[in-house]
Amino acid sequence: MDIEKHDYEQLIAEIAGILRDVLNERAQNAGGMPGFSEGSASPAPRPAAASSKPTPAKFSRSSDPREVIIGVGPAFLAELTATLNGLPHAEVLREIAAGVEEEGMIPRAVKVYKTSDVAFIGKEAAELSGSGVGVGLQSKGTAVIHRKDLYPLTNLELFPQAPLMTLAHYRQIGQNAARYAKGERVKPMKVLNDPMTRASYQVKAALMHNRETALADTRRPAEDFA
């Protein structure tokens, strides 16, 4: 399926913006000159942090069997604020939590700093969860439902096609995670697949993952994210 000209131009603009931010950040970290905005003779200003963003706090473990933890990646609602296909992080998190609540369980968001790998984010979320079931969510939108007794690279359900995900899909992820936590038989969600998606978003996905990986800190424990 051909990419519409408007969509293609928008994708290129988004990729260029992410790449420019990455190069600017690397230059500043290396002590070099900050990047310049197009057509400007002065450094591009860094956007002010949004005051509405959740603030991480020290994690306090719970033994509540109704708890389902949603683990998000290091760049979630920080360096990045939307998924690969433009869904705002705040709305994605809200939909997953709503799905958990609809099943009578208690959602809890936690930011995982040790890794940017969705499998390990999900695994840590499950290990921290009172129910032993957790959802892992990368900033680009890839998600997984995990359980604490499984190996990191195994899982209950994996959702690798972030560009095809909708808010309704994320809500269903929350519902399924809650059902697993209750010990119910769960019908897995249909796997979304589009052969053209990978090629269309490959560069943008790599840049977003690079930004998230740069923020990973193996020494930093998970924190509550509310």
For residues 204 and 14, is the Cβ–Cβ distance under 8 A?
A: yes
At residue 80 the predicted structure's pLDDT band, cuts being 50, 70 and 90, is very high
Buried b (16+ CB within 10 A) or exposed e, 47-76: eeeeeeebebeebeeeeeebbbbbbbbbbb
Evaluate whether residue 41 is within a structural domain.
Answer: no
Sign of the torsion formed by the C-alpha atoms of 149, 154, 158 and 162:
positive
Asked if the model's pLDDT at residue 36 lies above 50, the reply is no
Q: Which of 23-32, 72-81, 97-106 has the lowest mean pLDDT?
A: 23-32
In the predicted model, what is the mean pLDDT of residues 86-96?
A: 98
Asked if the model's pLDDT at residue 180 lies above 70, the reply is yes
Evaluate whether residue 138 is within a structural domain.
Answer: yes
The confidence score (pLDDT) of residue 171 equals 98
Evaluate whether residue 22 is within a structural domain.
Answer: no
- Total domains, the chain: 1
Evaluate whether residue 197 is within a structural domain.
Answer: yes
Please state, rounded to an integer, the average pLDDT across all residues of the chain: 84
At residue 32 the predicted structure's pLDDT band, cuts being 50, 70 and 90, is very low
Evaluate whether residue 24 is within a structural domain.
Answer: no
The confidence score (pLDDT) of residue 9 equals 63
The confidence score (pLDDT) of residue 21 equals 67
Evaluate whether residue 216 is within a structural domain.
Answer: yes
The confidence score (pLDDT) of residue 133 equals 98
CATH code for the domain of 96: 3.40.50.10150
Asked if the model's pLDDT at residue 87 lies above 70, the reply is yes
Evaluate whether residue 212 is within a structural domain.
Answer: yes
Interval 99-140: pLDDT, tens: 999 999 999 999 999 999 999 999 999 999 999 999 999 999
Which domain does 197 fall in, by range? 64-225
Evaluate whether residue 175 is within a structural domain.
Answer: yes
Asked if the model's pLDDT at residue 45 lies above 50, the reply is no
- Three-state SS string across 28-41, please? HHCCCCCCECCCCC
Position with higher pLDDT, 158 vs 27: 158
Q: Name 82's bridge partners.
A: 88
Which residue, 131, 96, 136, is CA-closest to 222?
136
In the predicted model, what is the mean pLDDT of residues 19-26?
A: 63
